[in-house]
């Protein structure tokens, strides 16, 4: 039973392009040019003599059956796309597979013996989507026919009926379809009406719906609509929209909209995230505190590995960006869903990836099944979507070239997760005593915590520092005494009574927290650009229209990659060409150079320079060609040394305020005539280049090494014993300053006692 490829006939790709009609928008052209011929073969079932599973790399997942596209008859099956699931009133389970020319319905009640029940033809398009409300499946496509309404009431008897192709008032094409399963409401997005926004479909008559309001301010590529379960918005129907202007490209991000009354939608919030390419799809955690966002166009140009955003949406009016997680592979993240604390993500060429979200801010890889052998590149082939919500636990994956995969998750979720509470300090005192707090989360039924430790390496390997139990799952450790010249690394480790362990960061010690050691920090110069402190602008971009640097309150809206606001909230910053919304004032025809006033980087301690920068070169006719350069001079600009170059592609080239810093002595000898300059350049072809600078500062760090054996307080000196403990207790009770070992300094409390215990446990050299 060979699996073979069918070579596309003449005009195959051209036909696909024509079939898309006028619906081309966001990432569509790139998908069309990535088309590969389908891989064909017989249906494979677990236990068949010729193993199919050996073709596909996997960990923690078993392939139960596989239906290549050629087995779906009666429709155009040149490619696959989205998928969804349906459970009949009798409990039988069905997969719905999007095909280039319609939909296929497959019974998977016995997942090792799938049965194709029916196919429903539809318009030819690479893009189909389907959702189920009650006994009806509602299918859409970019090829037309509006909404295909399919009756599933007799599916157990092998019959699926197309009720009608419903269109209304010029509406005909759709990119995605969305349902709130709690209320049964139905919505279309990316349609050819209402700016491609979120359109409400009234199902009072489920086979003859009507258009009934919606949110049409901008294009919505995909959305999740859910009823809020807690807080001030409890009971409200909220739409979490992957959205933007100009087909989703401009100001791409997240909008949260109250659509309880679809005829009077209210935008609650807008969030932009770092390194954005194209906000594609979102899904909530089960407690609705977090939202996971797939960006479809960041991999391959802006970021080097699969990067999924984590956003806190507990307060829908004030969401904030938490961080990212990754597979470590270059493939594009596409569609994800959350079930039982696990994230199921279809990632094109790297297939299905399953993450454990026991720590919802730091999901960790758990299992995978790669549906596209031989490549994990950032291309539009392989796994399109998945559906993990069947009561049996069966998972389906729809693949563009290889059809429908039916899978079983075997990997056991982790029993424990550990994460950092708050932000780790960038600078720690050589005397130690800096508190670091971790949160430990146990899965139900797990063994209790045996120990939590902070492992610290200051040059002689990782040494454990016990953490104290603060209650409510939090543990605190105090940094030990470290030398001033040390590059300090650290990570948390939790051990359960069963011996199972987890670390933060998750892949420690390969990845760790890192710290600069200093006794004091002083600010020598700080500029939030509220006034003119002597910065100068040069270069051959000579006007605002050509992108010349300007000190201003940003007036743009981000639609051309420009910063819509400053980074520190003070109002002003430097931007390139401060035009209004959508204005063409990016850097053109050369460069614009922003140079600091003369700075003094001499004096005691090490001088560091920090700043926030914005850079976007990802749009226009020739994206990702130009660079943003930061340089430093020791001699008022007579000569320059390059500190960093951002671009032409990769991190930092898709907009978003990014903080950066460097030690002056790593590049020049500190001087009283130091200057820094920022160069935004569009010297090659006509790309859209936008940049910004804010929150510039020069700080000095000083460091004094502490006594080698700080806990040696009593004779006999050179060794630690009960006399040293008694001496410290006496000093502590007398509130002697020498016993004030830990922050908050000026107070005597448990932290000072813990700091002394850490010093005592370290012993004497």
Strands of the 474-478 sheet, one edge to the other: 416-420, 435-442, 474-478, 468-471
DSSP of 671-722: -TTBEEEEEEEE-SS-EEEEEEEEEEEEEEEE--PPPTTTT--SSSTTS--H
**Residue 349 shares a structural domain with residue 402:** yes
Name the token pair of 503. 């670390």
Residues 512, 559, single domain; the answer is: no
Residue 1 within a domain: no
The CATH number assigned to the domain holding 430 equals: 2.60.40.10
Q: Are residues 552 and 572 in the same domain?
A: yes
Answer yes or no: do 239 and 343 share one domain.
Answer: yes
DSSP class of residue 554? -
pLDDT band at 706 (very low <50, low <70, confident <90, very high): confident
* Alpha-carbon distances, residue 585 vs 226, 560, 574, 576, 656 (angstroms): 40, 9, 14, 7, 18
What is the band of 188 on the pLDDT scale with cuts at 50, 70, 90? very high
Q: Which of 253, 281, 278, 277 is nearest to 267 (CA)?
A: 253
Is the Cβ–Cβ distance between 103 and 97 less than 8 Å?
yes
Angstrom distance (rounded) from CA 548 to CA 576: 5
Q: Are residues 448 and 502 in the same domain?
A: yes
Bridge partners, 65 (sequence order): 45, 406
Question: How far, rounded to the nearest angstrom, does the alpha carbon of residue 280 sit from its chain's CA centroid?
Answer: 11
Check: CB of residue 617 under 8 Å from CB of residue 689: yes
* pLDDT tens figures, 643-697: 999 999 888 887 888 899 999 999 999 999 999 999 999 877 777 899 999 999 9
pLDDT band for position 22 (50/70/90)?
A: very low
SS3 764: coil
Structural domain containing residue 264: 12-409
Q: How confident is the model at residue 34 (pLDDT cuts 50, 70, 90)?
A: confident
The answer as to whether 748 is a domain residue is yes
Q: Does the pLDDT of residue 345 top 70, yes or no?
A: yes
Final residue belonging to a domain, choices 490, 517, 544: 517
Residues 596-614 have pLDDT tens digits of 999 999 988 899 999 999 9
Length, in residues, of the chain: 765
Number of domains in the chain: 4
pLDDT for 1 beyond 70: no
Query: HSE of 69 in the Cβ direction (CA atoms, 13 Å)?
Result: 27
Cα(153)–Cα(159) distance, rounded to whole angstroms? 8
Judge if 539 and 658 occupy the same domain.
yes
Among 409, 425, 451, the domain-final residue is 409
First-last CA distance in the chain: 70
* Selection from 274-278, 529-533, 741-745 with the highest mean pLDDT: 529-533
Question: Tens digits of per-residue pLDDT, 565-608?
Answer: 899 999 999 999 888 776 777 888 789 999 999 999 998 889 99
Residues 397 and 365 in one domain: yes
Are 577 and 585 contacting, i.e. CB atoms less than 8 angstroms apart? yes
Residue 4 lies in a domain: no
Asked if pLDDT for residue 619 goes beyond 90, the answer is no
What whole-number distance in Å separates Cα of residue 262 and Cα of residue 198?
Answer: 9
Same-domain check for residues 537 and 665: yes
> In angstroms, rounded to a whole number, what is the distance separating the alpha carbons of residues 315 and 319?
6
- Distance CA(474)–CA(480), nearest Å, equals 19
Question: Does residue 7 sit within a domain?
Answer: no
For 448-462, the pLDDT digits (tens) are 999 999 999 999 899
Please check whether residues 350 and 441 belong to one and the same domain: no
Residue 9 has pLDDT above 50, yes or no: no
Placement of tokens 């902070």 in the chain? 454
Is the residue at 5 inside a domain? no
Which tokens is 342 given?
Answer: 């696990």
Q: What is the mean pLDDT of residues 698-712?
A: 84
Greater pLDDT, 54 or 18: 54
Looking at residues 43-52, what average pLDDT do you find? 84
The answer to whether 148 and 165 have CB atoms below 8 angstroms apart is yes
662-675: pLDDT as tens digits: 999 999 999 999 99
Give, as one character, the DSSP assignment of residue 753. Answer: H
Q: Residue 176 belongs to what H/E stretch?
A: strand 176-180
| pTM summary value | 0.78
Q: Is residue 645 part of a domain?
A: yes
Contact 660, 645 (CB under 8 A): no
Three-state DSSP class for 150? strand
Q: Which residue has the tokens 């270069």?
A: 539
Q: Which of the listed residues 702, 728, 745 is the one where a domain comes to its end? A: 702
Summary mean pLDDT of the chain: 91
Same domain, 56 and 112: yes
- The answer as to whether 168 is a domain residue is yes
Element (H, E) at 727: helix 722-733
Does residue 755 share a domain with residue 646?
no
pLDDT of residue 16 exceeding 70, the answer is no
Query: Once rounded to an integer, what is the mean pLDDT over residues 431-437?
Result: 92
Mean pLDDT value of segment 217-230: 97
Above pLDDT 70, what percent of the chain?
93
Q: How far apart are CA 240 and CA 617, in angstroms?
A: 28
Return the CATH number at 47. Answer: 2.130.10.10
In three-state secondary structure terms, 664 is helix
Distance CA 572, CA 697 (A): 15
Indicate whether 574 belongs to any domain: yes
Nearest to 384 by CA among 394, 399, 396: 399
Is 500 in the same domain as 465?
A: yes
**Do residues 61 and 354 lie in contact, with contact meaning Cβ atoms separated by under 8 Å?**
yes
Among 36-50, 482-496, 549-563, 639-653, which stretch is predicted with the lowest mean pLDDT? 549-563
């Amino acid at each position: 039973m060979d699996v073979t490829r069918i070579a596309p006939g003449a005009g195959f790709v051209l036909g696909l392009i024509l079939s898309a009609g006028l619906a081309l928008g966001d990432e569509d052209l790139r998908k069309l040019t990535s088309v590969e011929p389908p891989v064909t073969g017989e249906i494979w079932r677990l236990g068949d003599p010729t193993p199919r599973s050996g073709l596909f790399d996997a960990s923690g997942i078993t392939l139960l059956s596989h239906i290549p596209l050629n087995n779906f008859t009666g429709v155009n099956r040149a490619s696959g796309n989205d998928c969804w699931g349906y459970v009949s009133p009798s409990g039988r389970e069905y997969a719905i597979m999007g095909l280039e020319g319609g939909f296929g319905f497959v019974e998977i009640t016995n997942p090792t013996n799938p049965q194709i029940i029916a196919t429903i033809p539809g318009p030819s398009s690479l893009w189909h989507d389907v959702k189920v409300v009650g006994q009806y499946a509602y299918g859409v496509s970019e090829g037309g026919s509006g909404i295909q309404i399919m009756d599933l009431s007799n599916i157990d008897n092998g019959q699926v009926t197309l009720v009608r192709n419903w269109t209304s008032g010029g509406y005909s094409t759709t990119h995605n379809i969305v349902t709130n399963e709690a209320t049964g409401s139905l919505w279309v997005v990316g349609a050819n009406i209402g700016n491609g926004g979120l359109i409400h479909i009234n199902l009072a008559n489920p086979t003859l719906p009507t258009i009934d309001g919606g949110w049409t301010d901008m294009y919505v590529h995909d959305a999740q609509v859910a009823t809020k379960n807690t807080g001030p918005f409890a009971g409200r129907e909220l739409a979490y929209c992957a959205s933007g202007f100009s087909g989703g490209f401009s100001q791409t991000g997240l909008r949260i909209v109250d659509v309880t009354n679809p005829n009077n939608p209210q935008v609650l919030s807008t969030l932009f995230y770092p390194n954005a390419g194209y906000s594609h799809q979102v899904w909530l955690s089960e407690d609705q505190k977090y939202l996971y966002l797939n960006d479809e166009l960041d991999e391959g140009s802006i970021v080097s590995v699969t990067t999924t955003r984590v956003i806190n949406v507990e307060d829908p009016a004030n969401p904030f960006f938490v961080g990212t997680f990754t597979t470590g592979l270059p493939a594009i993240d596409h569609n994800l869903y959350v079930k039982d604390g696990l994230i199921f993500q279809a990632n094109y060429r790297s297939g299905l990836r399953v993450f454990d979200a026991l720590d919802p801010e730091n999901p960790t890889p758990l299992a995978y099944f790669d549906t596209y052998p031989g490549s994990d590149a950032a291309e539009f082939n392989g796994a399109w979507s998945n559906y993990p919500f069947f009561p049996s636990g069966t998972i389906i994956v729809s693949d563009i070239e290889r059809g429908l995969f039916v899978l079983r998750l075997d990997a056991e979720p982790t029993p424990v997760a550990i994460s950092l509470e708050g932000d780790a300090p960038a600078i720690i005192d050589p005397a130690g005593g800096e508190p670091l707090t971790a949160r430990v989360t146990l899965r139900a039924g797990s063994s209790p915590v045996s120990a939590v430790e902070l492992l610290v390496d200051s040059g002689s390997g990782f040494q454990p520092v016990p953490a104290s139990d603060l209650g409510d799952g939090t543990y605190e450790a105090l940094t030990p005494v470290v030398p001033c010249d040390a590059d300090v690394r650290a990570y948390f480790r939790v051990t359960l009574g069963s011996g199972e362990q987890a670390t933060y960061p998750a892949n420690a010690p390969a990845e760790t927290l890192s710290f600069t050691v200093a006794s004091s920090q002083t600010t020598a110069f700080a500029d939030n650009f509220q006034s003119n402190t002597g910065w100068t602008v040069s270069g051959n971009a000579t006007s605002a229209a050509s992108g010349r640097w300007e000190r201003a309150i940003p007036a743009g809206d981000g639609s051309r990659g420009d910063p819509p606001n400053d980074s520190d909230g003070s109002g002003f910053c430097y931007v390139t060409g401060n035009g209004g919304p959508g204005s063409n004032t990016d850097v053109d025809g050369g460069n614009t150079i922003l140079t600091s006033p003369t700075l003094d980087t001499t004096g005691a301690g090490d001088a560091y320079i920090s700043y926030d920068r914005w850079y976007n070169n990802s749009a226009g006719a020739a994206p990702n060609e130009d660079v943003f350069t930061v340089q430093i001079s020791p001699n008022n600009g007579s000569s320059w040394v390059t500190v960093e170059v951002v671009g032409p592609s990769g991190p930092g080239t898709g907009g978003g305020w990014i903080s950066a810093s460097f030690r002056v002595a790593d590049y020049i000898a500190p001087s009283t005539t130091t200057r820094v300059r920022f160069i935004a350049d569009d010297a090659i072809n006509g790309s859209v280049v936008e940049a910004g600078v804010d929150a510039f500062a020069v700080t000095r760090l000083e460091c004094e090494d502490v006594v080698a054996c700080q806990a040696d307080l009593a004779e006999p000196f050179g060794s630690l014993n009960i006399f040293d403990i008694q001496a410290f207790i006496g000093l502590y009770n007398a509130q002697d300053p020498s016993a004030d070992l830990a922050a908050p300094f000026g107070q005597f409390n448990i932290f000072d006692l813990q700091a002394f215990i850490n010093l005592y446990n370290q012993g004497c050299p």
